[in-house]
Amino acid sequence: MAQSPLLSSDRLRFVFSQIKERLWVKPLVLCVLSIGGAFIAKLADDLGLASVLPEVTLESVESLLSIMASSMLVIATFAVGSMVAAYASASAGATPRSLPLVIADDVTQNALSAFIGAFIFSIVSLIAIQNDMFDSAGQFAIFVLTLLVFAIVIITFVRWVDRIARLGRVVNTMEKAEKAAGDALDRRRHAPTLGALRVSPHQARDKGVPVCSSTVGYVQHIDLETLQSRAEALNCRVMVTVLPGTFVTTRRPLLYVEGAPEVCNEFKPDAFTSAFTIGSNRTFEDDPRFGLLALSEIADKSLSPGINDPGTAIHVIGTMVRLFTLWQSPLEKDRLRAISYDRVSVPELVIDDLFDDAFTAIARDGAGMVEVSIRLQKALSALAETDDSAMVAAARKHSRMALARSERAMSLPEDIDAVRRAAGF
């Protein structure tokens, strides 16, 4: 029986993307490097460089390290407080679903890592110097490293001040959500079936043995390499019925195994369910619909009577047009994913579902605002002018639905006529 890989390349990509959202990873790495740097300075003594390196006084090195040790902890504490405030702002002002994107901000994580790493470096180096670990060459090496760390901290602090002023603001959060959605859409359009065979999402599921999840939650990732390996081992075929972002229960099949595995002693459902990563929350990495949903929620919240910010909703509508334009733009042939899993079938994304995620909430809660309704109709009209027949049908359908909602929500005939003209009806 062929063995499936313990950790396929695709799953490694997914794991690394999730690690980026862990706030403790980079600080931990910098702490280890900081401790290592203090001991690396000892090599200057072991290499006999005392005769060629200038001497520095022990007091000057201790003074620098003491200043760094006392200041970095305060700055790190301040940084954490500022980051928490930014995260709270992102959740309250935009949508809680955008929080992972704000946490994964590289500049902010690098800043916190630099501050904590500098603090650890200064403490370890100070203890080493006060216990006479270094000779003159080692002291000079620590002095140079301390100046280097100071320079890194200052540059990082300047960049971080600029970023923290905008982090968590609605516009910044929308930019991050647009990038996450755009990246996921771009990957999916170049690999519509994730490298497997195509199966219709509405195809009958009455063949094969159903394999259900043992847990309840959202599908975050599907390791097709593992499914292919299992199918080859059992000489069967696998028809996946869910995509990343789908909510599954213990009664909903994740896939159907076609062949004769029911009479095979080696057939075990766990061998197939292990290829599915299921969690309590959706993720942006492999779920393009989640990015669209997050943007739609930002627009929907701005339309609430308590906030009353139609400009944000209009901004999001423009973002949706850019994303759908990306979706139907010409493919790059060198990035197209070939069919590498010939025993696995996976459904494609349905454009109607993408439009539902993007526009339904905005059309419903913005139906009474003439400026939002007009901009929505213009956006849908622009998308209806593409060469993609499925997108044209979806755009016209949502245009009719949005117009019907506006006609019911608006009382002024002039407003209704303006929306009708924008819709072309």
d(CA 382, CA 140): 66
Return the minimum-mean-pLDDT range out of 5-14, 125-134, 137-146, 380-389.
5-14
CB 199 within 8 A of CB 347: yes
Q: What pLDDT is recorded for position 3?
A: 44
| Among 143, 322, 408, 417, residue whose Cα is nearest residue 425 | 417
pLDDT at 261: 54
Q: Which residue has the higher pLDDT, 414 or 38?
A: 414
Tokens matching residue 341? 């899993």
Residue range 201-214: mean pLDDT, rounded:
72
DSSP count for the chain of H helices, then E strands = 16, 8
The residue with greater pLDDT, 417 or 170, is 417
Check residue 97 and give its pLDDT. 86
pLDDT band (50, 70, 90) for residue 263: very low
Please tell me the distance from the alpha carbon of residue 149 to that of residue 97, in angstroms, as a whole number. Answer: 36
276-279 β-sheet, strand order: 247-248, 217-222, 276-279
Mean pLDDT score of the chain: 86
128-162 b/e with 16+ CB inside 10 Å = b?
bbeeebbebbbbbbbbebbeebeeebeebeeebee
Give the model's pLDDT for residue 266: 63
**Residue 204 pLDDT level (bands cut at 50, 70, 90):** very low
Residues 115, 70: contact at Cβ < 8 Å?
Answer: no
For β-strands 247-248 and 341-347, DSSP reports them as unpaired
Mean pLDDT of 49-69: 79
Instruction: Mention every residue, 6+ apart, whose C-beta is less than 8 A from residue 116.
Output: 27, 30, 31, 72, 76
pLDDT tens per residue across span 361-379:
999 999 999 999 999 999 9
What average pLDDT score do residues 155-172 get? Answer: 83
| Cβ neighbours of residue 393 closer than 8 Å, sequence gap 6 or more | none
- Whether pLDDT at 89 is above 70: yes
The residue-averaged pLDDT of 5-32 equals: 71
Distance CA 86, CA 76 (A): 15
DSSP state letters, 26-51: HHHHHHHHHHHHHHHTTHHHHTT-TT
Angle at 108 between CA 104 and CA 109, to 5 degrees: 65
Sequence letter at residue 11: R
For the record, the structure tokens of 294 come out as 């997050």
* Confidence class for position 21, pLDDT limits 50, 70, 90: low
Residue predicted with more confidence, 246 or 267: 246
Q: What's the confidence (pLDDT) of residue 264?
A: 60
- Give CA–CA dist 232/2, Å, rounded: 7
Note the pTM of the prediction, 2 decimals. Answer: 0.83
Indicate the pairing of strand 341-347 with strand 237-240.
parallel
- Strand order across the beta sheet in which 237-240 lies: 196-199, 341-347, 237-240, 253-258, 209-212
Higher pLDDT, 412 or 131: 412
Query: Taking Cα atoms as reference points, which of 185, 223, 189 lies closest to residue 336?
Result: 189
Residue in the block written with tokens 């403790």:
24
Contact call for residues 18 and 101 (beta carbons, < 8 A): no
Mean pLDDT, range 295-323, rounded to an integer = 94
pLDDT at residue 4 is higher than 50: no
User: Using an 8 Å Cβ cutoff, are 371 and 314 in contact?
Assistant: yes
pLDDT digits (tens, 9 = 90+) for 403-413: 999 999 999 99
Q: How confident is the model at residue 56 (pLDDT cuts 50, 70, 90)?
A: confident
What is the β-pairing status of strands 237-240 and 253-258?
antiparallel
